[in-house]
Structure 1
Amino acid sequence: MSLVDAPTGGTEEARGLLLTNARPTGRDGSLVDVLIESGEVSAMAPDITPASGVDVVDLDGRWLGPGLWDSHVHMDQWALVRQRLDLSSARSAAEAASLVGERLRGQPPAAGRPLIGYGFQDALWPDTPTRALLDSVSGDVPVVLVSKDLHAVWLDSRALEQHGHGGHPTGLLREQAAFDVNTAVSAVSEELLDDWVAEAVEAASARGVVGVVDLEMTLSIDRWARRVAGGVRGLRVQAGVYPQDLDGVIARGLRTGDVVEGTEGLVTMGPFKIITDGSLNTRTAYCHDPYPGLEGDPAARGLPTYEADELVGWLRRASSAGLVPAVHAIGDAANALALDALEEVGCGGSIEHAQLLDVRDVDRFARLGIVASVQPEHAMDDRDVADRYWAGRTGRAFAFETLVAAGVTVRLGSDAPVAPLDPWVSMAAAVSRARDGRASWHPEQRLVSSVALAASARGRSAVETGSAADLVVTEADPLAATDAELRSFDVAATLLGGRFTHVALG
């Protein structure tokens, strides 16, 4: 059977599968056969003779590597954003408003529905977002524009009234107010959202993704159980929980790693997620030093979300119930606060983002066994913003190689929808620190390809016997690809537990 004839979505893992003429990543390029039984790689050798009933698929010299994970996504938000007006190209408030006007003239939303846009970054805009500017193009349609980092929303007057902010002077809401508005506009029917998530899962499988850590801000384990029952079986999902839902998860006796009932083993309880500060683009990331131009402002150093004792209390409650913490920390002061709390509780876990670090805190990551869950494409999106607002500090921003050299476990992700749910994009950013033809930004922090691949594949840079048959088949060797090639890397097939979830010829 050729690769093009390989079935998808069936139960191949129960029958056994032999992949012939594969080139495993991280080896010398020699061809081997790979036998998969009971969802695991059971043998790798030249010229394996298959037993009766084993399906045989010829990879015809293609490369075979470990399946990819995205260690930080917001899956419902990613599915929703794929349906929204794309504002990522706007370089000013006026340009964003123009895109809104163009969409309203050509493709207005259904009567009574708002126009929702996503992806604006206002930190370097030459003009200021205002409600009046959106009012000038929105007419009688409420307009809600969500920032790329999800930490701000920009509303016209109609939308402000609808969401309880009618007297707001600018229409630009940040942090919790923004989260509340985004949650409200994201409320679509469960049936429609499930359909959109199913499309997003298929798209992820087509990029070689076999698993995600879903840190959606509302508890999603029951939604995922419903989706799997409905046939969405393309990914392994570790679904996190936030403070507002912690008591409910504890009451159900769920611990990190527990399989969620009714999900065929695909969905497990994920980490306890808690947010300690804001973001760089909104200048709310909590830092030791003030943001330029904000000196004297009470929020000049950003906005911590919790006092130290509050954070310790949440971590202790979650970890004592068997939930591993995942702490959002972007500014260097937030990272120090998170490490202090994790050390006091002694619970391990991860820090999500870890964008700006005090040099002294890097060794603490390693000593405490804290995972650095980072998003390399953010460095490409934010390099100019960082150069302005973290001037003189960018040598320790997005410090991937520094973390690896210190012995810290690093995992790569996207924070989708903030960046695309595509691990090849994350790897490209990690190994090059460059994009769009620009020079490498702080090239000393680049990762070698094998490290970037392992950080995207749960520590594996090569296929190994005895491991789960979560695999990706590619047309070329990912360890020899340039960053530009990685960004549009050809994925020929993806397997989850020995079952094809995607097949395509490059």
Structure 2
Amino acid sequence: MRDKIIADMILEGASIFCGEKLPKDYDFVAVKGNRIIATGYEAQKANYIGEDTRVLKLDKENLIVPGLHDNHIHLIQAGMLDKYADLSTAPSQEEAAKTIAEFAKTIPDETWVMGFGWSRMSWEDKSLPTKESLDRYIADRPVFLLDSELHGAWVNTKALEICGIDENTQDPPFGEIAKDDQGKPSGYLYETALCLVGEKALDFDDRLVEDLIDRYSRNAIKWGITSISDMTPYLGLDLAYEETYYRMDREGKLKIRINAARNLFEDIDKFNAVRAKAEASGTGMYRVPYMKQFVDGVIANYTALLLDDYCDRPGDKGSSLLDLDKLKEAVEIAHENNVSVRLHGCGEGAVQAALDAYEHAILKAGRTEARHQIEHIESIDPSDIVRFGAMDVIASVQPEHIISGIPSFADNCYPELLGEERCRYTWPFKTLRESGAVLAGGSDAPVVEGDPFYGIYCGMVREHPDGTPEGGWNPQEKLTAEELLVSYTYGAAYAERRERELGTLEIGKLADIAVLDRNILAADPESIKETKVLYTIVDGKIVYEG
């Protein structure tokens, strides 16, 4: 007779979502060590309970789900959002400047004053911000403020001086230093130009990097997030800080699984060495499974690559942020080395270029173990939708982007910039899913805070905070709560080639589990965005109790 297996932990009494196409009527989940050893019915539960088994007794209105995976964040910047100033609610340039000045008083011993989230599109005066508006409040310390898209930076005169940026400084490739009427830097930096200041402002030591990782991780576990995909290449900056991750992994300090993306243009031998070192660095909580790059910028800044002109700028289709021929070469090298690639593509031209690069690699080297992704897909040519399923390209989607942090649809710039026909294919989640694409859900934190339940809500209703447009923007693209939950669990696990270990609640899989205070699969959408997490379990250990 087989020996009785005693669980370390039993979760019982709640509703249970094991995963799409799996049983939905189980009564318990049993965990031993870092693995799920049983899921089943009440009559079977006693077989796994021993003297030392911890039994979490839950209510039927609670919901047990696989641990959530945020498939696209910028971890260091997300930690910075927790540490530095949040400017997302500032109603004007002047108020944002006042807010950052008040914040600066709270960090008197730090050289750089930093903040996030300002959006001129939500200001009554939508003019680009200037250094003078910051200089009036902070003239003696450098200021570096990233916009809500993370594709532009607002700086003061001191920051420009420290970084040696003046009227003679040349624009970097795929970036622009905005100039005033006298040809001097105005204080706004587009795309890769922000790196001219960012390379100094974001040059952090090991102690600060650990603090930023901890800050984000503490927030993540309260949202039931057990894994994240960290997009470390940032418009020419390297924010990998891998030595800190190696150390924290060895010391058992990582609270969640971290999957880091490296620069696509990095030498493949160097990448493989970093990947191997990560695998040997400690507990396995830190991995380096993919490479990443930006094909374009963002639609709101006219830096996204379109196939046709911006409606309000005849002759301007935007541009790529890299050489598309070199992109194809780099993707081919990664693909033939079984390395998954992740390409940022917001405009339909960038999405098409990314698909073309993947198709080129597949035609040259055949199918490999690589699972490539396109990030964001804010707009897409309808002819390209079926290519995702045909090539097994994963759609890395962030539902909160639908509302773009803008309170009302009346302030949404996309209809004006893209026009009615293209707007029909903005964030086409349902169409992509029905065409055979795997959707992997994420947030793009700190572009947004990173609460996955608010993301699920946005993907269901597709409305701005004021409830506009009535019925949702492109309501035909709404997804159900279950479809969205799958994107944050199985879809994201599939994207990192770990669906045999993670993403569903099944015997033998790693015990990454979240317990929610309500059954979001049966709840009203308005209720879903208020979801709280009761327990977050990572690798069989309770790391958060709400």
Q: Which amino acid aligns with 2:534?
A: A
Residues 148-170 of structure 1: per-residue CA shift (max 9 Å, x gap):
11111111111111122233431
Shift of 1:323: 1.4
Q: Does residue 277 of the first structure (1) align with residue 269 of the second (2)?
A: no
1:448 corresponding residue in structure 2:
480
Larger CA deviation: 64-73 vs 81-90 = 81-90
Is the contact made by 1:208 and 1:472 (CA closer than 8 Å) also made in structure 2?
yes
Is the contact made by 1:152 and 1:178 (CA closer than 8 Å) also made in structure 2?
yes
Shift of 1:111: 5.3
1:476–1:29 Cα change, 3 Å? farther
1:264 corresponding residue in structure 2:
283
SS of 2:404's equivalent? helix
1:122–1:467 Cα change, 3 Å? same
1:237 to 254, 258, 263: 258
1:354 to 357, 372, 377: 377
1:141–1:250 Cα change, 3 Å? closer
Q: Does residue 19 of the first structure (1) align with residue 2 of the second (2)?
A: no
1:264–1:175 Cα change, 3 Å? same
1:170–1:468 Cα change, 3 Å? same
- The 5-angstrom pairing of residues 140-159 of structure 1 reads 140-159=140-159
- The 5-angstrom pairing of residues 430-445 of structure 1 reads 430-439=459-468, 440-445=472-477
2:313 corresponding residue in structure 1:
294
1:56 corresponding residue in structure 2:
54
Is the contact made by 1:150 and 1:179 (CA closer than 8 Å) also made in structure 2?
no
* Number of residue pairs the alignment of both structures matches: 485
Tell me the distance in 2 between the aligned counterparts of 1:14 and 1:306.
55
Percentage of pairs with the same residue:
25
Tell me the distance in 2 between the aligned counterparts of 1:441 and 1:432.
8
Shift of 1:198: 1.4
1:130 corresponding residue in structure 2:
130
Tell me the distance in 1 between the aligned counterparts of 2:197 and 2:274.
31
Tell me the distance in 2 between the aligned counterparts of 1:445 and 1:164.
47
Shift of 1:183: 3.7
Shift of 1:180: 3.9
1:389 to 409, 417, 421: 417
Residues 236-284 of structure 1: per-residue CA shift (max 9 Å, x gap):
11111013544463351737xx962123121222211011111123210
Q: Does residue 198 of the first structure (1) align with residue 229 of the second (2)?
A: no
Q: Does residue 369 of the first structure (1) align with residue 401 of the second (2)?
A: no
Kindly report the root-mean-square deviation, in angstroms, between the aligned alpha carbons of the 2 structures.
2.5
Shift of 1:462: 6.0
1:4 corresponding residue in structure 2:
none
Tell me the distance in 1 between the aligned counterparts of 2:530 and 2:120.
28
Shift of 1:96: 2.0
In structure 2, runs of 5+ residues without a counterpart are 168-183, 363-369, 492-501
SS of 1:171's equivalent? strand
Q: TM-score, normalised by structure 2?
A: 0.83
Larger CA deviation: 378-387 vs 321-330 = 378-387
Shift of 1:358: 0.3
Tell me the distance in 1 between the aligned counterparts of 2:449 and 2:479.
20
Residues 434-466 of structure 1: per-residue CA shift (max 9 Å, x gap):
242313222111111111000001248863334
Tell me the distance in 1 between the aligned counterparts of 2:503 and 2:264.
35
1:34 to 29, 33, 40: 29
Shift of 1:51: 4.8
Is the contact made by 1:453 and 1:461 (CA closer than 8 Å) also made in structure 2?
no
Tell me the distance in 2 between the aligned counterparts of 1:396 and 1:130.
34
2:191 corresponding residue in structure 1:
175
The structure showing larger relative contact order (alpha-carbon pairs under 8 Å, at least 6 residues apart) is 1
- The 5-angstrom pairing of residues 27-106 of structure 1 reads 32-43=27-38, 44-47=40-43, 48-49=45-46, 50-52=48-50, 54-61=52-59, 62-104=62-104
Tell me the distance in 2 between the aligned counterparts of 1:266 and 1:159.
37
Tell me the distance in 1 between the aligned counterparts of 2:400 and 2:278.
31
1:133–1:323 Cα change, 3 Å? same
Shift of 1:431: 1.2
1:328–1:120 Cα change, 3 Å? same
Tell me the distance in 2 between the aligned counterparts of 1:90 and 1:292.
28
2:453 corresponding residue in structure 1:
424
Q: Which amino acid aligns with 1:472?
A: A
1:352–1:265 Cα change, 3 Å? same
Q: Which amino acid aligns with 2:414?
A: A
**Structure 1 ranges of 4+ moved more than 4 A:** 26-31
SS of 1:252's equivalent? helix
Tell me the distance in 2 between the aligned counterparts of 1:238 and 1:112.
30
2:499 corresponding residue in structure 1:
none
1:335 corresponding residue in structure 2:
351
